[in-house]
Chain A
Amino acid sequence: MNNPIIWMIIGMGIVTYIPRLLPFILFKGKELPPFWQGVLKNIPFATLGALIFPAVLFIQDNVLYGLLGAASAFLLSYLGLNVIVSVLGSIVVLTVYSSFV
């Protein structure tokens, strides 16, 4: 166990697990005030917004590439298709796009 990489990996694992675990211990069986319950219910929608933008624009050097992919996914899911279809559909759109452009 003299390999520093192994220790680095274990350390990374521990510091990643702590924030994932802590809320389940801290808030176990506790009723939060309604305002904070509301905030926690808002978190998923806000998280999704922040996860998508701006990162999706930078998946390739060309900003249009990410925009096209995002627009395809938006359209497919807006039409009511399920998530996997939107995922595969936008992959197809971008594959076609980069094969022809």
Chain B
Amino acid sequence: MADLAFERELSSFRRGVQEGTSIAIGYFPIAITFGLIAKSTGLSLSETVLMSLIVFAGASQYMALNLLTLGTGIYEIILTTFIVNIRHFLMSASLNEKAEDDHLLKKAGYAFGITDETFSVASMNNKEVTSGYMYGVNGISYASWVVSSGLGFIFGAALPHVLQESMSIALYAMFIGLLVPSLKGHVKVVLLSLTAACLNSAFTLSHLLSTGWSIVAATLLSAVAIEAAAVLKKKRGGQEIE
């Protein structure tokens, strides 16, 4: 029996690695650029790789470099990091609903690897989310992030500019590729993503909120508002929004 459970975990781990491959591709140019900027900011190779190993959150790592250049103190950088990354709370809460029940320690392990990208891939996959699967998705993404950061530090300047630039579409293309199949025939999904996109654009373009808070606010507001609308419509005997 133990063998059977192990087999099952292994196959879901493999499925995770497979589905995480597009993240690994998408992380490559971003981490390369991170390594390159880290070098020009004056970080050492080991500091650069250590930051990717310990933090594993792209936007805040870029921000830290930017703030270091501006001479910002480390406490302020840590606080800003917290604000930029607080959106992961919503993602973990959502994933906790979907994920198969497992020992807390196993979940605590894969919680470390929850990023915008790993969360999106795991949520959009239509099979069960097991711990093995999460370790697969997170593992290949993490490996790509850490290794590419180091490569960027060492070789970053050698990557052709045109390719570096065009590869910056990779993660957005992945988000779109994950979203589009669920848009078809689901009005609720269309409404959710459109509302959040509009709110986030309004909050950031008007400089009302910083990017970190803006994503949190836009996501939560649209998720709550559209759920409330769906419940109201159902109560009034209308058709269920799907």
- A: residues with CB less than 8 A from B are 3-13, 15-29, 32, 35, 37-56, 59-60, 66, 69-70, 72-74, 76-78, 80, 82-84, 86-92, 94-95, 97-99
Contacts and interface: CB of A to CB of B under 8 A. Distances in A.
A50 B200 contact: yes
Given A9-B50, A16-B57, A27-B96, A87 B123 contact: no
14 contacts: A12-B78, A12-B81, A20-B91, A42-B188, A43-B223, A45-B179, A46-B192, A47-B215, A49-B197, A54-B205, A56-B169, A86-B174, A89-B173, A91-B166
Interface stretch (B5-13, B104-112, B143-151): B104-112
Contacts of B47: 3, 5-6, 9
Given A77-B177, A83-B174, A98-B162, 18 more contacts: A3-B47, A5-B43, A11-B75, A12-B77, A22-B92, A23-B96, A24-B96, A29-B101, A43-B223, A46-B218, A46-B219, A59-B165, A73-B174, A77-B180, A84-B22, A86-B177, A90-B169, A94-B169
A46 B81 contact: no
A49 B111 CA distance: 23
B199 interface: yes
Interface of B: 21-22, 25-26, 43, 47, 50-51, 54-57, 60-61, 64, 74-75, 77-79, 81-82, 85-98, 101, 104, 107-108, 111-112, 114, 116, 119-120, 123-124, 162-163, 165-170, 172-182, 188-189, 192-201, 204-205, 214-215, 218-220, 222-224, 226-228, 230-231
Given A13-B55, A23-B93, A41-B94, A73 B177 contact: yes
A78 B47 CA distance: 42
A60 B81 CA distance: 24
Contact of A52 (B54, B75, B90, B175): B175
A16 B50 contact: no
B54 A94 contact: no
B74 A16 contact: no
Which 3 residue pairs are nearest across A and B when measured between Cβ atoms?
Answer: A49-B193, A44-B123, A69-B169
A9 B55 contact: yes
